[in-house]
């Protein structure tokens, strides 16, 4: 579990094919690694990875084909900059929101423009995720806990302050950049809860639809 408050920027050292999937090495000299043990979870631009080796200045993790197909990690190469966050500890401050590190889909940066000292970004989410993105709600972009400033269909806006621009890889974003998105976990559980007994139905319906809401009294 993570908070979405990035601790450091790391750099991909190597990506090697390993037993059918890949082994990834990330280095960051801006973070202390003494408290990280083998088997610990580390969020890497929003992707929860397990440390299988600790060379002292970073970590090595195995990445499955499933993760490669569902995240932007498949496009990374040596030199790619990534956001890094160690797993949440019981005494840590929850400065962002609850982040699982399980990426829901890949989004795309549509536009970037100056907004006083901040930068305003417009991103486009996959159609299946649009219903989980709410005005003033939380979303995780490449592991960063952010507040949604506006929503228009599948597009949503983010206002990024100078500190976040300087201390995460979001400062590198340009139109066309692909990013890992994780929606608010509460929204996902709420959807399942609203389905009630229908959640156990094996008919193939796995999400809420307008007709389902109307049939069950949620819409008038």
Q: Which is higher by pLDDT, 86 or 187?
A: 86
Assigned CATH for 105-187: 2.40.30.20
Q: Which is higher by pLDDT, 195 or 113?
A: 113
d(CA 44, CA 125): 20
d(CA 87, CA 35): 11
Please classify residue 46 by burial: count the beta carbons closer than 10 Å to its beta carbon, then call 0-12 exposed, 13-18 middle and 19+ buried: buried
Which pLDDT belongs to residue 88? Answer: 86
The whole-model pTM stands at 0.86
pLDDT tens for 63-98 read: 999 999 999 999 999 999 999 999 987 767 777 788
pLDDT tens for 128-157 read: 999 999 999 999 999 999 999 999 999 999
Which pLDDT belongs to residue 219? Answer: 53
Residue 59: how many other CB atoms lie within 10 Å: 26
d(CA 48, CA 26): 13
State mean pLDDT over 35-39.
95
| DSSP tag of 88 | P
Strand 150-152 with 105-115, pairing? unpaired
pLDDT averaged over the chain? Answer: 90
Strand 8-18 with 21-27, pairing? antiparallel
Assigned CATH for 8-86: 2.40.30.20
Query: Which H or E run contains 93?
Result: none
For residue 138, the cross-strand partners are: 147
Coil, strand, or helix at residue 124? strand
| DSSP tag of 134 | -
d(CA 62, CA 51): 8
Could you tell me the pLDDT band of residue 220, with boundaries at 50, 70 and 90? Answer: low
Question: Boundaries of CATH 2.40.30.20 in the chain?
Answer: 8-86, 105-187
Which pLDDT belongs to residue 139? Answer: 96
Query: Which H or E run contains 163?
Result: helix 162-167
In this structure, are residues 6 and 86 in contact, taking their beta carbons and an 8 Å threshold? no
């Amino acid at each position: 579990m993570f908070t979405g408050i990035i601790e450091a920027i790391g750099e991909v050292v190597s990506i090697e094919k390993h037993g059918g999937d890949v082994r990834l090495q990330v280095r960051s000299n801006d973070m202390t690694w003494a408290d990280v043990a083998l088997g610990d979870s580390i969020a890497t631009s929003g992707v929860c990875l397990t440390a299988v080796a600790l060379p002292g200045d970073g970590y090595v993790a195995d990445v499955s084909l499933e993760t490669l197909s569902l995240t932007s990690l498949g496009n990374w190469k040596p030199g790619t900059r990534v956001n890094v966050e160690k797993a949440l500890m019981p005494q840590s401050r929850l400065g962002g929101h609850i982040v699982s590190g399980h990426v829901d889909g890949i989004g795309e940066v549509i536009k970037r423009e100056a907004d006083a000292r901040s930068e305003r970004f417009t991103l486009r989410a996959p159609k299946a995720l649009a219903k989980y993105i709410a005005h003033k709600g939380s979303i995780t972009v490449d592991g960063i806990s952010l507040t949604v400033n506006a929503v228009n269909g599948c597009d949503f806006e983010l206002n990024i302050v100078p500190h976040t621009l300087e201390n995460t890889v979001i400062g590198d974003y340009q139109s066309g950049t692909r990013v890992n998105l994780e929606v608010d976990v509460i929204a996902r559980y709420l959807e399942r809860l609203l389905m009630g007994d229908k959640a156990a139905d094996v008919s193939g319906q796995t999400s809420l639809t307008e007709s389902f809401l109307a049939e069950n009294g949620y819409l008038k």
